[in-house]
């Protein structure tokens, strides 16, 4: 399958994920991940809200902007507010994204295991074992923290280029979204790889081999998250199911 078809597969499988959920009555597996995701989303949002307010007050106090008396102080005050707000949004989204991938992984692993158990009846679900749970949690933490470091090493230079070379900002913005989408898709595909007992190196090889598909899954999830209520509740779960169905189609057929 060519790269463009792999990318499109990652997008269109969200519809199939919904049909698969209805067909196999998987709704009960949605409850825990949905509730946890709402808690993570709101908690990070509240922290960032206070971060913005306190940081603006602190900077205004340093630069004596709390009571601007001329035009340049007023302009600088607006600039500080915009800069802090944009920075807070970037921190918010990255913090939420990786906290979601790390903290939600045990709950999403249940969904991924159920999907793969249906697709691979020769690999039945194993009973819960706490040592295995700790191993999987450590594995997910290692992968996601490594991915965060790689993502930051790519996106921070792109952000700086966009700030200092404004005519390039539309292109750097697109690249940043594609990079973030890739790592979102990576996290969803790895849940399937975890079920198949692939180690970290093998999991990365699977994702790299299907890079356009990972971007397709991730970019759909990226934009779905911002749909009020629906996205926060179901975007990670649908992405998890879509990733599992897609890798099965790409790797097994």
Question: What's the pLDDT tens digit per position in 32-61?
Answer: 888 888 888 888 888 877 777 777 667 666
> End-to-end alpha-carbon separation of the chain, Å?
11
For the chain, the helix, strand and coil percentages under 3-state DSSP, each to the nearest 5? 85, 0, 15
Structure-block tokens of residue 50: 């206070």
Structure-block tokens of residue 107: 């709950």
Domain chopping of the chain, boundaries = 3-30+103-248
> How much is the pLDDT for 244?
93
| Torsion (CA) 17, 188, 158, 148 in degrees, nearest 10 | 160
Name 244's Cβ contacts closer than 8 Å, sequence gap at least 6: 112, 115, 116, 119, 191, 192
CA atoms within 13 A on the CB side of 3: 6
> How much is the pLDDT for 202?
92
The whole-angstrom separation of Cα 37 and Cα 14 is 18
Name 102's Cβ contacts closer than 8 Å, sequence gap at least 6: 140, 141, 144, 145
Comparing CA positions, the residue from 33, 193, 181 lying closest to residue 104 is 33
Looking up tokens 């933490």 gives 141
- pTM equals 0.83
Structure-block tokens of residue 118: 């249906």
> How much is the pLDDT for 153?
92
What does the DSSP 8-state code read for residue 68?
Answer: -
Segment holding 210, helix H or strand E: none
Looking up tokens 């594995």 gives 139
> How much is the pLDDT for 61?
67
**Per-run averaged pLDDT (10 residues), the chain, 253 residues:** 90 90 89 87 81 70 61 67 72 81 84 88 63 72 88 89 84 92 94 87 93 95 84 88 93 73
């Amino acid at each position: 399958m060519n790269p463009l078809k792999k990318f499109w597969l990652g997008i269109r499988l969200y519809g199939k994920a919904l049909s698969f959920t209805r067909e196999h009555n998987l709704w009960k597996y949605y409850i825990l991940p949905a509730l946890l995701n709402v808690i993570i989303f709101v908690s990070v949002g509240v922290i960032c809200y206070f971060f913005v307010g306190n940081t603006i007050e602190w900077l205004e106090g340093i630069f004596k902007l709390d009571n601007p008396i001329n035009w340049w102080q007023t302009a600088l005050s607006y600039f500080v507010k915009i800069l802090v707000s944009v920075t807070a949004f970037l921190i918010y989204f990255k913090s939420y994204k990786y906290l979601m991938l790390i903290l939600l992984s045990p709950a999403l692993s249940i969904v991924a295991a159920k999907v793969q158990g249906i697709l691979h009846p020769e690999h039945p679900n194993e009973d819960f074992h706490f040592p295995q749970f700790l191993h999987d949690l450590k594995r997910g933490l290692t992968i996601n923290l490594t991915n965060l470091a790689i993502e930051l090493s790519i996106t921070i230079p792109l952000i700086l280029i966009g700030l200092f070379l404004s005519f390039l900002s539309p292109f750097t913005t697109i690249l940043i979204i594609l990079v973030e989408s890739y790592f979102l898709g990576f996290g969803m595909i790895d849940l399937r790889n975890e079920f198949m007992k692939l180690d970290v190196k093998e999991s990365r090889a699977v994702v790299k081999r299907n890079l356009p598909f990972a971007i397709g899954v991730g970019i759909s999830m990226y934009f779905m998250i911002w749909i009020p209520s629906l996205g926060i509740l179901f975007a990670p779960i649908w992405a998890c199911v879509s990733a599992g169905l897609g890798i099965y189609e790409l790797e097994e057929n």
